[in-house]
Amino acid sequence: MPIKMIPEIGHFALIVAVLMAVIQTVMPLAGAATRRPLWMAYASPMAMGQFIFVLFAYLCLTASYMLDDFSVVNVANNSNSMLPWYYKFSAVWGNHEGSVLLWSLILAGWGFAVSRCSTGLPRDMVARVLGVMGMVSAGFLLFVLVTSNPFERSLPRVPADGADLNPLLQDFGLIIHPPMLYMGYVGFSVVFAFAIAALLGGRLDSAWTRWVRPWTNVAWAFLTVGIALGSWWAYYELGWGGWWFWDPVENASLLPWLTGTALIHSLAVTEKRGSFKSWTVLLAIFTFSLSLLGTFLVRSGVLTSVHSFANDPSRGLFILVLLGITVGLSLLVFALRAPRVSHVVGFGLVSRDSLLLVNNILLVIMTVTVLLGTLYPLLLDAFGLGKISVGPPYFNALFVPLTVLLCIFMGLGPVARWKRMAGGELRRRLWLAGVVALAIAALAPLVYGGEWNLWVSLGLVAALWVVLPLVRDMTDKVRKAASLWQGVRRQSLAYWGMVLGHLGMAVTIVGVTVVSNYSVEENVRMAPGDSADVAGYTFTMTGLESRRGANFLADTAIMKVEGDDGEHLFVMEPEKRLYLARGMPLTQVALRPGPLRDLYVAMGEELDGDAWAMRLQYKPMVRWLWLGAILMASGGLLAVVDRRYRRRSTVQSGSESSSSAQEATA
Amino acid sequence: MKRRLLLLLPLAGFIGLAIFLYMGLSMDPFGRDSALLSEEFPPFELSTLAEPDRRVDESLFEGEVTVVNVWGEWCPTCKQEMPQLLDLADRGIRLIGIDYKDTRDKGREFLDEFGNPFELNIFDPNGDLGFELGVYGAPETFIVDADGVIRYHHTGYIKPEDVRDTILPEVEKWQR
Amino acid sequence: MAAIGRTLMVLCLVALAGAVNADAVRDFDDPVVEKRYRELTASMRCPKCENQAIDDSNSPVSADMRDRVYTLLQEGRSDREIQDFMVDRFGDYVLYNPRLEGRTLLLWGLPFALLVVGATVVALIVRVRRRASAQALSAEERARLDELIHSERTE
């Protein structure tokens, strides 16, 4: 009997969680405003309680999926008794209701983490941070309860079996992509809450930036991995071999990533130099606001996209109201409470400060460009100016040059000194790197592709110009030490995190450049016995088989692939599947990954006789795209481990006063 | 003071964005006007569904306001739409069908089963005329005025209330 | 409305699932024409689907559009003529690369305007900060001077 009540119990737990979130908002914020320690003390227990109850609700929904309880509408629409158990587990977030619940769970989880890790922080700061997070949480939990209840029953008419999870989502990539992405999106709520807390409490100093930086880096690292996973998933699952489509949903994740990247850099300036304070706070607000905006765009149905959820205007309105309250209030607080007299910290034209300023401005321009392209069709439509589309050609035309421009400054930044530096010194240290970068970039296309290609050269020079100055800087720094290891040890982990992050960016740029320019694609008609040559590989179809999977039937092509030298011999087996529950066909590509190239075979339509349309692709260096993202994320995480973020607050405030004294005299 | 105003800028920008997104909520991302509105019906020469030897062309549309419906036996929504089209025919409105990407036999079967509100059907087995009209699925409905100019375009299913609310008023508008 | 959206989505997911198109097996005598074919079909939007280029979509209208692109290329038409051909029938909606015209001025212009604004902002801020830097420098020097004098005295 209790098993049958699981959905109701989950629903009830969710209601309790909302109440706790409301208390978590009201008491600590009021307590901080009126300086009542007892009220402020509500923050941590409520954050914990809310997390436990949302987790419990989430587990109840998962249990309903695992137990095939098709009386729950959500389960009936998105699962099936034939579905393997791990897909039942991930099907929970393969739909709108479940994914908002996951979002709320992660939000509560971040709140709980803040309450655990904030022992060294001033009490009112903790109270305000958790209060703001409680407010966001309350909003999202209400959204779940009011418009998207995943526990809704379809009693008394219970379907015999479920409609199944969309086959496109029955995949390992989809098990991990959304949780990672949400960890990133929602992680920025912590940074956002810290920003609002700083505005409310009037405390925006170096210590504050040291509290915020680790949270920012972790959220950013998750978002980086999440975006990369999405791109990887699209690459192998959609069967076209594309890895980025500039689809509104992809853009929605890119927007907070861009401002988040700007935020990481602006926080560095604020911590080290005490300047750009208002700007840093504004970026923190923007980043989370863009996460919310992305949620709105994906779930409201205002934009047409390949992978948005089935939409409902009432949900859109709810999120818009939520967005309006959260962002509107925070920007109002910003306007009223931003640091009144910013004390002007001086720096020269050639300095790390000025270069990071340029970095921030470029990243913001990139953000605006992506946002503009994403919303422009809607804008024209709203003014009755017709329907247009803005797609990859537009974004590539603007984003690529902006990235190259950004790379120019990325090369200079790490080498430049804070405050000011003689232009001659910078030139002396970097001219060699510049010449080498230009030379390699100009020659590489000739060696690799046989003819000169402007785009390849441009991409390579950008990547090399990011890497080579870093190499120069590292050797300069390490050389001074007694041994290599000592030299490496002497630099902070934050420094090595930066190095890794920038290297990752360069690796991604190389991957993008090469795969965009040197991919080979052949669409051929093949029957057993036929073969085709693509980029030095011979593909021979040796046979066709039919097989049966857990919940699908498949036609499998057996492809024997031989390298140029005749030695590398392997078999690839692309499939055309028919998922039974939905009667939906799906292309399952066969991949032969490698560090320098992927081979990619997709099965198309059945042609006359035994023949099939086959898409054979050679994708050079496509793995570098995601390898770069992993490096970037590792860099972000490495910097978090840096010692200076783990000093206790008493020490922090001590060193804080001395360092700000230094800054004041500096 | 000037700085304070500067600080209000993000808020002002956001309010603008929010209003615009609110407008966006009530818009239909799928509804699009045809590119052929106010254009003449594209020239064509095809046989009719009933008589393979009879060739018709765009001069069909001269002299009378016509509702042109693109349909096919393979299209389930077209079947649901037939009662509305029969209703229009009963009201004395001239309807011409385009049997789109269909075979002659199936097209005729369809009319036998669901009724024939059309004065005649243009047989378009390869979808060439449909392509000229910018048709991207069936059913689609056009209103062509007495001079052969396309005046109105409806994508997808015509609901019973659409007959009264949009189709009839549009036809009357161009009959004058 | 929501129901229509959902139906369309289902249709497109079906289209999306069969990624390789039967008609994709085409012969080109000239690699340049083949490249143009790829670029043209990659930059046109399927009018039926949610958000897909016609080369990635299995919807029937996309297949028809690819056919026309191929035929028109064989006839020796220019890219612009082929795009116009599609726009005349399906509207500007089919172009993923919006043309520069009155209503898209903001779309194409704003990024460039922002670059100019950004450069100006950097110039202004650096000017202010340099001045502040110069003042701070003299203050710092004065402090050091004081310090030196002070230390000499105590010695």
Whether ipTM > 0.90 holds is: no
**Stretch 107-126 of chain B: residues touching chain C, C-beta under 8 Å:** none
**pLDDT for the residue numbered A308:** 54
More confident residue, A149 or C16: A149
Domain boundaries, chain C: 2-99, 100-155
Q: Min CA distance, C81 vs chain A (Å)?
A: 18
**pLDDT for the residue numbered C147:** 65
Q: How confident is the model at residue A2 (pLDDT cuts 50, 70, 90)?
A: low
Q: Do C24 and A368 touch (CB under 8 A)?
A: no
Mean pLDDT (whole number) for A546-554: 88
Q: Which residue has the tokens 């290599």?
A: A484
Q: Min CA distance, B166 vs chain A (Å)?
A: 19
More confident residue, C30 or A53: A53
- Are residues A437 and A464 in contact, defined by beta-carbon separation less than 8 angstroms? yes
Q: Do A348 and C130 touch (CB under 8 A)?
A: yes
More confident residue, A449 or A413: A413
Long-range CB contacts (within 8 A, 24+) of A331-335: A331/A285, A331/B10, A331/B11, A331/B14, A332/B11, A333/A196, A333/A199, A333/A200, A334/A199, A334/A278, A334/A281, A334/A282, A334/A285, A334/B7, A334/B10, A334/B11, A335/B4, A335/B7, A335/B8, A335/B10, A335/B11
Mean pLDDT (whole number) for B134-138: 88
How far apart are alpha carbons C139 and C131 in whole angstroms? 13
Q: Min CA distance, A346 vs chain C (Å)?
A: 4
Collapsing DSSP to helix, strand or coil, B165 comes out as helix
**Minimal Cα distance from B24: which residue of A?**
A302
Q: Do B101 and C60 touch (CB under 8 A)?
A: yes
Contact residues on chain A for B15, CB-CB shorter than 8 A: 328
**Minimal Cα distance from B126: which residue of C?**
C64
- Are residues A73 and A151 in contact, defined by beta-carbon separation less than 8 angstroms? no
Q: Do A613 and C52 touch (CB under 8 A)?
A: no
Name the H helices within A413-519. Answer: 423-449, 454-479, 484-490, 493-518
Q: What is the pLDDT of residues C80-106, one digit of tens each?
A: 999 999 999 999 999 999 999 999 999
Nearest to B22 among A304, A320, A379 (CB): A320
Which H, E and C letters describe A389-441, residue by residue? CCCHHHHHHHHHHHHHHHHHHHHHCCCCCCCCCCHHHHHHHHHHHHHHHHHHH
Percentage, residues of chain A above pLDDT 70: 94
Contact residues on chain C for B13, CB-CB shorter than 8 A: none
Q: Which of B17, B21, B28, B34 to probe the A interface (max A CBs under 10 A)?
A: B21
- Are residues B7 and A278 in contact, defined by beta-carbon separation less than 8 angstroms? yes
Q: What is the dihedral angle through the alpha carbons of A358, A362, A364, A369, rounded to the nearest 10 degrees?
A: 160
How far apart are alpha carbons A188 and A417 in whole angstroms? 29
Q: Which of B133, B163, B160, B157 is nearest to B36 (CA)?
A: B133
Q: Which of A311, A605, A616, A665 to probe the C interface (max C CBs under 10 A)?
A: A605
Q: What is the pLDDT of residues A53-67, one digit of tens each?
A: 999 999 999 999 999
Q: How confident is the model at residue A305 (pLDDT cuts 50, 70, 90)?
A: low
Q: What is the pLDDT of residues A74-87, one digit of tens each?
A: 999 999 998 899 99
Q: Do A323 and B18 touch (CB under 8 A)?
A: yes
Q: What is the pLDDT of residues A338-390, one digit of tens each?
A: 876 556 777 888 889 899 999 999 999 999 999 999 999 989 988 888 889 99
C84 in contact with B, Cβ within 8 Å? no
Q: How confident is the model at residue C11 (pLDDT cuts 50, 70, 90)?
A: very low
How many DSSP H helices and E strands does chain C contain? 5, 0
**Minimal Cα distance from B129: which residue of C?**
C89
**Minimal Cα distance from C48: which residue of B?**
B136
Nearest to A334 among B7, B24, B27 (CB): B7
A278 in contact with B, Cβ within 8 Å? yes
Specify whether the backbone of A615 is left (phi greater than 0), alpha (psi in -120 to 50) or beta: beta
Name, in order, each residue with C-beta under 8 angstroms of A108's C-beta and a sequence gap of 6 or more: A17, A21, A47, A50, A51, A54, A55, A137
Q: Do A331 and B18 touch (CB under 8 A)?
A: no
Contact residues on chain A for C123, CB-CB shorter than 8 A: none
Name, in order, each residue with C-beta under 8 angstroms of B76's C-beta and a sequence gap of 6 or more: none
How far apart are alpha carbons A115 and A651 in whole angstroms? 20
Chain-centroid distance of CA B133 in Å reads 10
**pLDDT for the residue numbered A119:** 80
**pLDDT for the residue numbered A573:** 94
Chain-centroid distance of CA A63 in Å reads 28
B34 in contact with C, Cβ within 8 Å? yes
* Pairing of the two strands B94-100 and A597-606: unpaired
Q: What is the pLDDT of residues A532-542, one digit of tens each?
A: 999 889 999 99
**pLDDT for the residue numbered A212:** 93
Contact residues on chain A for B14, CB-CB shorter than 8 A: 289, 327-328, 331
Residue A665 has pLDDT above 60, yes or no: no
Q: Which of B136, B155, B157, B162 to probe the C interface (max C CBs under 10 A)?
A: B136
Residue A121 has pLDDT above 50, yes or no: yes
User: C2-99 maps to which CATH number?
Assistant: 1.10.8.640
Identify the structural domains of chain B with CATH numbers, from first to last. Answer: 37-175 (3.40.30.10)
**Minimal Cα distance from A331: which residue of B?**
B11
Q: Do B25 and A386 touch (CB under 8 A)?
A: no
B28 in contact with C, Cβ within 8 Å? yes
Q: How confident is the model at residue A666 (pLDDT cuts 50, 70, 90)?
A: very low
Nearest to A302 among B18, B24, B33 (CB): B24
Q: What is the DSSP letter of A604?
A: E
Q: What are phi and psi of A575, to 5 degrees?
A: -135, 155
Q: Min CA distance, B96 vs chain A (Å)?
A: 29
Q: What are phi and psi of A276, to 5 degrees?
A: 60, 30
Q: Do C61 and B32 touch (CB under 8 A)?
A: no
Q: Min CA distance, A47 vs chain C (Å)?
A: 37
Contact residues on chain B for C92, CB-CB shorter than 8 A: 35
**pLDDT for the residue numbered A646:** 67
Q: Do C9 and A310 touch (CB under 8 A)?
A: yes
More confident residue, A507 or A159: A507
Q: What is the pLDDT of residues B94-119, one digit of tens each?
A: 999 999 999 999 999 999 999 999 99
Contact residues on chain A for C96, CB-CB shorter than 8 A: 389-394
How far apart are alpha carbons A112 and A106 in whole angstroms? 10
**Minimal Cα distance from C47: which residue of B?**
B136
Q: Do B21 and A296 touch (CB under 8 A)?
A: yes
Q: What are phi and psi of A120, to 5 degrees?
A: -85, 0
* Residue B126: both structure tokens together: 């390869």
Q: Do C95 and A389 touch (CB under 8 A)?
A: yes
Measure Cα distances from C14 to A243, C22, C57 in Å.
Answer: 20, 15, 10
Q: Which of A563, A502, A503, A512 is nearest to A535 (CA)?
A: A563
Measure Cα distances from B92 to A571, B117, B172 in Å.
Answer: 67, 10, 12
